[in-house]
């Protein structure tokens, strides 16, 4: 079992990794239909957003003034590593498949990761898994639809 600090970082990193990477992929795909743009976006998210999220968790944990210095750093490192490596996994379908198929595979993969994490957390907390999973997947689907729409609008007006 993971300690609280590592669990916080991993849960945040995985959730952010799915939502941010899928949003970026769907938006860039619908706006550019460019494999290099989508791949570049994934790599950028893996590095820049993993550092950003890690610093965000670091500062948030410090602001609670209840964690030791080491606990804050455990959350920071766990956030970075989970976000970085999960985001990189989304590059695999883009490298191996045509872009439309890669985006669909990535959406299914990302929603599966988020669904599994949500199910695990619900069970661990004694909550109703179907409620928690549907809530989290609903938010993810909202992000996917919104970024697809924004990408189409940008492609139509600037592409």
User: pLDDT for 115-154, tens place per residue?
Assistant: 999 999 999 999 999 999 999 999 999 999 999 999 999 9
> pLDDT by residue (tens digit) across 49-97?
999 999 999 999 999 999 999 999 999 999 999 999 999 999 999 999 9
Structure tokens at 50: 């993993």
Helix and strand counts by DSSP (H, E) for the chain: 7, 0
Domain range for residue 80? Answer: 4-153
Residue 83 lies in a domain: yes
Q: What pLDDT is recorded for position 2? A: 75
Residue 39 lies in a domain: yes
1 pLDDT higher than 90 = no
Report the C-alpha gap between 153 and 71 in whole angstroms. Answer: 43
Q: Cα–Cα–Cα angle for 26, 95, 87, nearest 5°? A: 55
- Please count the structural domains in the chain: 1
> pLDDT by residue (tens digit) across 85-107?
999 999 999 999 999 999 999 99
Query: Do 37 and 106 meet the contact criterion of CB atoms below 8 Å apart?
Result: no
Q: Which residues contact 157 (CB under 8 A, 6 or more apart)?
A: none
Residue 158 lies in a domain: no
If 0-12 CB within 10 Å is exposed, 13-18 middle and 19+ buried, where does residue 61 land? buried
Report the C-alpha gap between 84 and 97 in whole angstroms. Answer: 22
Residue 118 lies in a domain: yes
Residue 159 lies in a domain: no
Residue 66 lies in a domain: yes
Q: What is the pTM of this model?
A: 0.94
Residue 116 lies in a domain: yes
Residue 123 lies in a domain: yes
């Amino acid at each position: 079992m993971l300690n609280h600090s590592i669990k916080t970082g991993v849960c945040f990193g995985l959730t952010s990794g799915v939502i941010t990477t899928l949003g970026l992929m769907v938006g860039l795909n619908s706006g550019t239909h460019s494999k290099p743009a989508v791949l570049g976006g994934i790599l950028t998210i893996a590095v820049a957003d993993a550092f950003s999220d890690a610093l965000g968790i670091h500062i948030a944990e410090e602001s609670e003034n209840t964690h030791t210095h080491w606990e804050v750093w455990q959350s920071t490192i766990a956030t970075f590593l989970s976000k970085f490596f999960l985001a990189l996994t989304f590059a695999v379908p883009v490298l191996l498949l045509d872009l439309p198929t890669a985006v669909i595979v990535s959406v299914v993969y990302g929603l599966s990761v988020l669904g599994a994490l949500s199910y695990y957390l619900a069970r661990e907390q004694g909550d109703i898994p179907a409620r928690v999973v549907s809530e989290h997947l609903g938010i993810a689907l909202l992000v996917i639809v919104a970024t697809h729409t924004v990408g189409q609008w940008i492609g139509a007006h600037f592409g």
